A = this chain, B = another copy of it.
Amino acid sequence: MSVSHKLAFLLSSNKKIDRRHQSENEVQGLGSSSSQLRVEEEDDDDDDSEEGKSAQFLSFLHLYSLLTSLTFGLHHPKQLRTVVSTANDQPSSALVIDGKLIADEIRFRIAEQVRRMKDSVGKVPGLAVILVGDRRDSLTYVRNKVKACEDAGIKSLVTQFPQDCKQDDVIHALSTFNEDPSIHGILVQLPLPQHLDEGKILNVLKLEKDVDGFHPLNMGNLAMRGRDPLFIPCTPKGCIELLIRSSVEIMGKNAVVIGRSNIVGLPISLLLQRHHATVTIVHAFTKNPEQIAREADIVVTAAGVPNLVRGNWLKPGAAVIDVGTFPVEDPSCENGYRLIGDVCYEEASKVASAITPVPGGVGPMTIAMLLSNTLDSAKRAYDFT
């Protein structure tokens, strides 16, 4: 069976996958969609009890940060080389990149800067979220984002509309946030109900507040040398942050990105190129993905195909970032499911030099980067450095 057939087969027959999270985009384009990412955000919600203890945790992090700053020198990326854990109790020769801990560290730093901003200019960053309907998953993600904002001292506003609301009402709310000087980032929680024109609504969003960074002008500025986007999309920004903080060299390395969605694969490939990697983008039409992946020093996979990347797809010593997340039925877990990624972790962790687990790898970085983008936007607004 060819790999293309295998992908099609995996996409069509893997009955373990909860398909409610799988969008048309993924199937058509081997591209990760926002829905995938959301699953892991949802998983964050499973840790709600932990997030509820964020104050204590931040205190721990403060202590951790203080200790590492004394031992290794503050902000030295190599200090996070020490952040090693063995995920899922699987034997692993690879450095396991602990996204949760790195994200918490970043969120701690953001909270610190927000406090400094408040002391200095008397303002804090503000994030507005527009939520339409009462999809359980959307409610969860929005709750997580609001909580993360609270933990960091960022003001958050949520405007919720009923499922059958009018488009003009949503646009009016967006326009109000556009004009509100205390709001520095605006999110429209997707997907919207089908009767609303997503493109039209998103076009209203002020570029300076597009903290998701999905506007084509942002993407063009990300792609072009000598230009800088206002915002880098959150998940791709998180992936690069994980590589950098894990001391994975990017410049001059061969990187393969699996999947070419607008929100993950494309911007990750552009970012890796900005860091001077030699980037190849693998997608549904690629005939020899495993052969191409085997040439890579860095593999970032956002394919939307569970367990796609096997151990024999990897060059020994490659760094592996797994953006995929899929709920798989598992009665032994509290919620009746557990999460797996695009990468066959058990095999890959024996070949790779560094790898992100699922959950606890890329997922937690998405919200951290959303906070980071909102803070950056506020800094620009208040000319605060």
Check: A225 CB closer than 8 A to any chain B CB.
yes
Which A262-312 residues sit within 8 Å CB-CB of chain B?
Answer: 262, 266, 270, 273, 276-283, 285-288, 292
Chain B residues with CB below 8 A from A191, complex form: none
Find out whether the CB atom of B266 lies under 8 angstroms from the CB atom of A224. yes
List 7 other contacts, CB 8 Å, given A223-B270, A225-B266: A215-B220, A216-B217, A216-B223, A224-B266, A251-B285, A278-B283, A278-B286
Check: A38 CB closer than 8 A to any chain B CB.
no
Find out whether the CB atom of A225 lies under 8 angstroms from the CB atom of B260. yes
Interface magnitude class on chain A: 35 or more
Find out whether the CB atom of B285 lies under 8 angstroms from the CB atom of A278. yes
Query: Which of B270, B280, B287, B292 is A252 in contact with, Cβ under 8 Å?
Result: B287
For the complex of A and B, 10 pairs with smallest distance between CB atoms? A220-B220, A216-B220, A219-B220, A280-B280, A276-B285, A278-B286, A252-B285, A217-B217, A216-B221, A224-B262
- Cα A273 to Cα B215 in complex, Å, equals 20
- Cα A273 to Cα B220 in complex, Å, equals 15
CB distance from A247 to the nearest CB of B (A): 18
CB distance from A27 to the nearest CB of B (A): 13
Check: A364 CB closer than 8 A to any chain B CB.
no
Check: A153 CB closer than 8 A to any chain B CB.
no
Which A114-167 residues sit within 8 Å CB-CB of chain B?
Answer: none
- Cα A221 to Cα B220 in complex, Å, equals 7
Find out whether the CB atom of A261 lies under 8 angstroms from the CB atom of B221. no
A284's closest neighbor in chain B, by CB? B276
Determine which residue in A216, A222, A261, A286 has the highest number of CB atoms from chain B within 10 A of its CB, and name it. A216
